[in-house]
Structure 1
Amino acid sequence: MSAERQKDALDEAAEWFFRQGDCPLAPDDHKRFDQWLAASPEHRTAYDEVSRTWTELARIAPPPLPRPVPPVGTRRPFARVAASAGTIAALLLVAAWSFDLPTRLRADAYTATGETRSLTLADGSTVELNSSSAIAVDYSDAARSVTLLKGEAVFTVAPDKTRSFKVLSGDGEATALGTIYDVRDGEDGSTVTVLESQVRVSSTDNAFSSVTLSAGEQVRYDAGGMGTVTRVDVASEAAWRRGKLIFIERPLGSVVEELNRHHRGIIRIVGDDLRDRRINGVFELADIATAVDTLETSLGIRSTRLGNYMIVLHR
């Protein structure tokens, strides 16, 4: 399908989707919608993409305002109470989802989208939290443990010969050997990058594999086990600490995942072939919209947008 046809399909899909937002389609309109879906497989793909993207956007959008309360006397008292309770419950559920309350309740430190934060732990170790990240701290007389609940953080570990320092993320953990290191929890597993000294990384797969990384080395692990150790440019990997994102031969899918971490909205890609396109670039964290514009220009692709809150990248 040509780029123009794909854009048309996405635009038409968005129109059909939002027409159904407030109330069901009239019978004649519903028939035309079914005919449009059946006319081409690309129509179904485009509609599913718009639907998924809007659902994800709803998770971070502010909760809707409650509807006006009907005049007194228009409902029986029990009905009014039940309706009010239902409205409150719905608003609470939306708020809980929107503000990520389950994670916030577990976390000792949390950053919202677009926010970074530095903090000092009880032992003098420091943590730099990237955007949309959270940690839970569990210190005892025998050990120091930090769980990365989501996102990314850089840990600078204070020496303590009597207690180890480890970061738990996903299906494994990274134990400091006197060091500075970055741990990222992503869609494709957890990634550990050593900025200074050494770290022992262990995955909790059946084989319980383990590897020791030195400065400038990185490894990814998931439920399937440990990946291959690679050499990386540590200045690029932790550039977010300086307000930048630097990508060297990174797949577009990985780049967009990182942009989404800092963007108050949703960016999605249509087409697996686009996800694999390699990217080199330097972007400012303060201007994600311009970063997307740059990706469009450099890759020769297009976007369909609902403001800057919903951006779909496609050919």
Structure 2
Amino acid sequence: MSYTNSHYSEDEEAALWVARHMNNMVDVIEFKEWLDGSPGRRERFDALWATCMEDAVTQGLQLTAAQEWPWWDETSPYSAKERQSTFWNRTGLFGAVAASLVAILTFAWPYLHPEGQVFTTAAGQTREVVLADGSTVILNGASRISAQISDEQRNITLEAGEALFDVTHDPARPFTVIAAEGRATVLGTRFDLALNNKSLDLEVERGKVRLEPLDYADRAVVVTASHRASLMDSYVSQPLAIEKATATSWEDGWLEAQNMSLGEIIPRLQRWTDRQIRVEDAGLLTIPAAGRFRLSDPDLVLESLGTLYHFKVTKRDNAFVLSKQ
């Protein structure tokens, strides 16, 4: 059975396929045939899908669906199987849902984020998103990126926190990430970029990344696979070889601390808790620490570090306060 209507525009057809994917009702073979049927369909679908992954759009779609069709809501007494069966059996309901999605995407999409897409996470939350060019980004906790993807350029801004980028290869459109005072430029690679206090830390898992201060292109350093480098005070450190990726261990919920100071550990842990981590004595920040810690329990991590390295952790208001014993 074909779901594609010759009367729909390319944007409308892409939106219909997004609707089917959102409800797990996709004929994989037919979807591939549609993608291959005309140039630009993959890009159009990816862009609409990425837009739907944004919090504001997703919440709007869910609210509309829940108001119009109570059986759609996952909190309703209907089981997932019943909702799917109802979806297919009720005359015209797929068309109505799809039509709503088409209207939202094809007409509102160009105006939703005139400055680009925005993706965020709360403390302790990780999130994987697909950008309009097919690149994927996994955001660590308390992180935020904005993305501007066009036919000529791919510009990302890491506004807070940390993100793991897996970049689709495209020599005609370099992939650029700006964070604080630095810029990382790649063609196709996998790398982690983190804002840690005054340092911009880069770890390259695959490919090459050019790291440079925004105002000093002549200070750029090319960081190759299995190397890390940091940018601070407008200078990039010399890349250091690493035996295994540690910066991306947060993807699995762990903090791998190897030859780190407490001052380096705190911003990484801060992304996993709403409580502020305050240090009353600056001397504590230089304490060297090592170990493997579960990020989902920042309270226990701080208590363990305090026990190991002889400092006190006190809960005060909405904060963890670290002080000398």
Say yes or no: TM over 0.5: yes
Aligned to 1:194: 204
Q: Residue type matched to 1:173 in 2?
A: R
For the pair 1:211 / 2:221, whether they are aligned, the reply is yes
Q: Could you say what secondary structure the match of 2:228 adopts?
A: strand
Q: Which runs of 5+ in 1 are unaligned?
A: 1-104
| Partner AA of 2:207 in structure 1 | S
In structure 1, the residue matched to 2:3 is none
Deviation at 1:253, TM superposition (A): 1.0
CA contact (8 A) 1:205 1:223 kept: no
Q: Residues of 2 paired with 1:257 and 1:172: CA distance? A: 18
CA distance in 2, matches of 1:304, 1:190: 29
Matches within 5 A, 1:1-315: 108-206=118-216, 208-306=218-316, 309-315=318-324
Determine if contact 1:133/1:151 at 8 Å carries over to the other structure.
yes
Q: CA deviation at 1:291?
A: 0.4
Q: CA deviation at 1:174?
A: 0.8
Q: Secondary structure at the match of 1:141?
A: coil
5+ residue gaps in structure 2?
A: 1-114
User: Which letter maps to 1:220?
Assistant: S
User: Sequence identity, in percent?
Assistant: 30
- Counterpart CA distance in 2 for 1:233 and 1:287 is 27
Change (3 A) 1:125 1:288: same
- Superposed CA RMSD in Å reads 1.8
Structure with more relative contact order (C-alpha pairs < 8 Å, separation 6 or more)? 1
Displaced runs of 4+ in structure 1, greater than 6 A?
Answer: none
Quick check: 1:177–1:200 contact (8 Å CA) kept in 2?
no
Q: How many residue pairs align between the two structures?
A: 210
In structure 1, C-alpha distance between the alignment counterparts of 2:205 and 2:232, rounded to whole Å: 21
Q: Which residue of 1 aligns with 2:60?
A: none
Q: Deviations over 1:178-202 (max 9, x none)?
A: 2100111121121111011211112
Could you list the per-position Cα deviations for residues 96-147 of structure 1 after superposition, in whole angstroms to 9, with x for gaps in the alignment?
xxxxxxxxx9861010111110011111100000001111111122111111
Instruction: Tell me how far 1:246 sits from its aligned partner.
Output: 1.0
Structure 1 residue 310 displacement after superposition: 1.8
Mean Cα deviation higher: 146-155 or 224-233: 224-233
| C-alpha contact 2:145 2:160 (8 A) present in aligned 1 | yes
Aligned partner of residue 262 in structure 1, secondary structure: coil
Q: Structure 1: how far apart are the matches of 2:182 and 2:266?
A: 25
The answer to whether the 8 A contact 1:197-1:214 is kept is: yes
Go from structure 1 to structure 2 and tell me whether the alpha carbon gap of 1:252 and 1:233 turns closer, same or farther (over 3 Å shift).
farther
CA shift, 1:270, in A, is 2.3
Counterpart-to-counterpart distance in 2, 1:294 and 1:157: 37
CA distance in 2, matches of 1:257, 1:161: 34
TM-score w.r.t. the length of structure 1 is: 0.63
Tell me the secondary structure at the aligned position of residue 257 of structure 1.
Answer: helix
